[in-house]
Structure 1
Amino acid sequence: MEGRGKIGSSHGGSNRSQARRGPSGAWNRLKPVTIDPLDAYGLPSKGDKRLYDHKTQEAYYTKIVERYMKFCASSSGGEELETALASLSLDPPKPKPTSASSSQPSNTTTTTPAGQPTTTRPSIPRHASSTDRPNDLPNILMAMRRLREGILGSRRHDAFAQRAYMFIAQAGILTRQWESYQPTLLHLVHGIHAQTPLSPLELRDFVGYMVLDLACRQGDLGGAFALRERFAHRDRRVEAVLRALVHDDWPRFWRVRRAVDGYQRALMGFAEERVRLHALKCLGRSYLSADRGFVERAADAGWEELVGSGVGWQLLESGSVVIRKPKPK
């Protein structure tokens, strides 16, 4: 009996020592999971209500601006930054050229009815960012959406909401993310401006963005003129874009595009394909042949790009482009 008692007490002591034993050393060596500060919140529209708090919104906005400025500063120049921002465009990617289109232009003999270019033209290829953090911009844009939904859901219309919406709208325009900038502009101009007025210069700029979006992306010239009259909007560059689109004046359109700022140029990009196609159709109806430089200036694109997009004209060794051949008598 005594022996059994000792044995039982021995097992009890062993169990207690095992219960006091700490976790294995291997578990202690696991690294903690690192969470991106921009991913710390979910979408308010999906049920995460934490961004309804005003202090949380302001702290989150500061992080977004910091990351966005860091992304912009990591680009070596303006052209690289514009390419990186445009890489997020919703335009469909341009397919790789076939063997016929990738050959030398002088060997291209594809013909089209009446010597006109094809009616469809893929967009200019968009390259991914070559910065140190090439995948950071989608995270930043998603964070902007979370913040925008949080501000909208909290019914905030103060100076902070105004500043945040202005920033989100301009970033969406540069990346040509119309599904981001369009609702932002609408709420900024029609909602926040009614309670926290924008300055006259700010109102002119953001109404101008809305006018250009209607005219260039949506192709609604009537709506663009109606919005301009509603706000008594006057901007000579926006006026020049509208006149060029109304009159199908592609030389004016290309000239204005080189004179506007980055936001207006990004919005004009939605109309480039229509303007270029119209210019090429006009050349196809008016000329039998033309100088290569003249064709490139009219289309505002290089010859190789035009060939890759499906233009079936023939480039001769002399530098002349055969647009269409005269009908035999």
Structure 2
Amino acid sequence: MQRKGGRAPSGPLSRLRPIEQDPLGEYGLPSKGEKRLLSPKVQEAYYARIVERYLAFCTEAGDSDSLQKQFARLALTATTTTTTTSVSLPPHTSSASLSQSIATLPSTEKLSQVLSALRKLREALVASHRHDHFATQAYLFSIRLGILASSYETYYPSLLHLLRRHHQQRDHPTGTTTTNPAPLPTDKNTNSSSSLTSVELTEITTYHILDTACRRGDLAEAYSLYNQQHHHRRRLHHHSTTIASSSTCSSPSSDTLKLKSILDALTSDNWVAWRRLKKQVDLYRVKLMEFAEHQVREHTLRAFGRAYLSVPVGVLEEQTGCGWAELKGRFGVGWELEEAGGKVVIRKVR
């Protein structure tokens, strides 16, 4: 039976429109029972979406200064609360309105979505026992982005996984150890081992040392890791270079010397050396050093309090790297500022 106007009655299923989801929120956490991400092809497609979303985030931010401000706005608490949640979009969302809804999200929310998606991908790679070149690059991307976002929940698990995998390959070069469970069935060539290059290994080892010293505050362990790295590099130079002299083989590189100087500056609370070294290293190392910056700056403020009765406010701001308002609000200094003379009174003579 046809309705008036020649239109056929629509069935009950034709009124249901497909619900469009954010591509990054399509899958759940493998630790919570998600199985679809265990497929290598799905993993690679999902990783491509993550990179695409991150590049869009960088493009929207504009210049490097604006991008760093966006990273700084992402609080660690916001990262932990959004790691297990997906994007909530209104029902019956079309593809065009889906893209518009994602584009109108706050920048910190977009970055949180990327970090949440990286956790899902990392869990899928671990669950599927994938150790090929793709998995290595996905772990490295997670480490670097997590450091830039100051999200140790993102970079630290990937960092430990790559380091443990490297030590397993070094100790058992013939194959996997017997303690590992049997790998899940995957596509061809996805379980072929992919070792880290010497540059990548040095990079993540440096990150591990800085994280141990600056975020975890374990200087003894950081020095131990540094000595192990330095000894390993000297041994590699000794085996690979047969003509060079022993003094050339044992001389540390510039990056190694800077790493040692960072540990020394943190140990002695040397704020001057700490600030100088921050200008000499890349952004990844700077972000890791920022975990301990509050501690080193507090020591500098205590030194000012013991050594001076008063100091020009410009000198204090230049030496501490903070404005007077931030020193009062964030560090709670009880000193007084004389507006007329531009001088900070630390102690008054009785």
Q: What TM bracket, shorter-length normalisation?
A: 0.7 to 0.9
| CA distance in structure 1 between the aligned counterparts of 2:152 and 2:51, rounded to whole angstroms | 20
* Residue 22 of structure 1 pairs with residue 43 of structure 2: no
How many residue pairs end up in the alignment? 271
- Residues 33-68 of structure 1 show CA distances to partners (whole Å, capped at 9, x for unaligned) of 211111111100000111111111111111111111
Tell me, what secondary structure is at the counterpart of 1:74?
helix
Change (3 A) 1:89 1:237: farther
**Match of 1:170?**
144
Which ranges in structure 2 are unaligned for 5 or more consecutive residues? 2-7, 79-102, 170-192, 234-251
The question of whether the paired residues in 2 share the 8 Å contact of 1:250 and 1:276 is answered with yes
Change (3 A) 1:131 1:260: farther
Q: State the shift of 1:132 in Å.
A: 6.9
Tell me, what secondary structure is at the counterpart of 1:259?
coil
| CA distance in structure 1 between the aligned counterparts of 2:265 and 2:199, rounded to whole angstroms | 24
Q: State the shift of 1:248 in Å.
A: 1.2
1:217 alignment partner AA: R
Alignment of 1:31-46 (within 5 A): 32-46=18-32
- Residues 168-222 of structure 1 show CA distances to partners (whole Å, capped at 9, x for unaligned) of 0111111111112111100012215735321111111111111110111111111
TM superposition outliers: structure 1 runs of 4+ over 6 Å? none
Alignment of 1:48-197 (within 5 A): 48-90=34-76, 134=107, 135-191=109-165, 194=169, 195-197=193-195
**Match of 1:209?**
207
- Residues 259-313 of structure 1 show CA distances to partners (whole Å, capped at 9, x for unaligned) of 2211111111101110111000000011111111221122211111112221111
Change (3 A) 1:238 1:306: same
Change (3 A) 1:166 1:279: same
The question of whether the paired residues in 2 share the 8 Å contact of 1:214 and 1:223 is answered with yes
Tell me, what secondary structure is at the counterpart of 2:302?
helix
Change (3 A) 1:315 1:268: same
1:172 alignment partner AA: G
| CA distance in structure 2 between the aligned counterparts of 1:198 and 1:30, rounded to whole angstroms | 50
**Match of 2:177?**
none
Q: State the shift of 1:80 in Å.
A: 1.1
The question of whether the paired residues in 2 share the 8 Å contact of 1:68 and 1:140 is answered with yes
| CA distance in structure 2 between the aligned counterparts of 1:32 and 1:153, rounded to whole angstroms | 30
**TM norm structure 1:** 0.77
**Quick one: which of 307, 312, 321 aligns to 2:334?**
312
| CA distance in structure 1 between the aligned counterparts of 2:104 and 2:311, rounded to whole angstroms | 41
The question of whether the paired residues in 2 share the 8 Å contact of 1:75 and 1:131 is answered with no
The question of whether the paired residues in 2 share the 8 Å contact of 1:314 and 1:323 is answered with yes
| CA distance in structure 1 between the aligned counterparts of 2:56 and 2:119, rounded to whole angstroms | 19
- Residues 225-247 of structure 1 show CA distances to partners (whole Å, capped at 9, x for unaligned) of 11112222662332221111112
| CA distance in structure 1 between the aligned counterparts of 2:105 and 2:65, rounded to whole angstroms | 16
| CA distance in structure 1 between the aligned counterparts of 2:77 and 2:66, rounded to whole angstroms | 19
- Structure with bigger RCO (C-alpha 8 Å, 6+ apart): 1
| CA distance in structure 1 between the aligned counterparts of 2:77 and 2:106, rounded to whole angstroms | 22
Change (3 A) 1:174 1:167: same
**TM norm structure 2:** 0.72
Tell me, what secondary structure is at the counterpart of 1:321?
strand
Q: Identity across aligned pairs (percent)?
A: 43
Tell me, what secondary structure is at the counterpart of 1:231?
helix
**Quick one: which of 286, 292, 315 aligns to 1:294?**
315
**Match of 1:321?**
344
| CA distance in structure 2 between the aligned counterparts of 1:245 and 1:251, rounded to whole angstroms | 11
**Quick one: which of 269, 285, 288 aligns to 1:264?**
285
**Quick one: which of 214, 230, 240 aligns to 2:261?**
240
The question of whether the paired residues in 2 share the 8 Å contact of 1:43 and 1:149 is answered with yes
**Match of 2:298?**
277
CA-atom RMSD in angstroms: 2.4
